[in-house]
Amino acid sequence: MFEIKKVGGTMGLIELASNNSVWRGLEYYNEKKVISWERTGEKSYSGIVSGSDNNEYKVYIDIEHPRKSKCNCPFAFERRVVCKHMLALYFTVEPKAASDFLKEVEEWEAEEKERELQYYEDLKKYIKTLSKERLQEELFEAILQLEEERDYW
């Protein structure tokens, strides 16, 4: 699963949010749930975001100091967390951030596919090095482990 991490520098809104909040914020952005917004400073914005059950939330984001961002939704109210409404506003005012994020995810997924293919290729090579006796032992252990897992669930 793709994990959101920042390499070097300070953490931004995306990196401070949970994976779920980022994806839901992207969904809200794509669904144009940001009703209105205005720039309140060089790197800060206020806006109204439509939430579930037709609720409207007041959102403030500070891109330079993301921990100062606020939303009056039940998830973020009086907490120092980044919610989906903040991310929807962020992606609305910085659409390049949304496209950059999706590009990063696509690159990671392509790399993950390559890692998976390499893993199976290495596994195949390893199996070919095993003697018949050792291969039988490994197979027996794997079957036992699968049965234990099946019994557990």
Q: Is 11 exposed, middle or buried (0-12, 13-18, 19+ CB in 10 A)?
A: middle
What single letter denotes the amino acid at residue 61?
I
Looking at the predicted structure, is the pLDDT value of residue 1 above 80? Answer: no
So what's the pLDDT on residue 111? 87
Q: Name the pTM for this structure.
A: 0.70
Mean confidence (pLDDT) of the chain: 89
Q: What pLDDT digit, counting tens, does each position of 40-63 carry?
A: 999 999 999 999 888 999 999 999
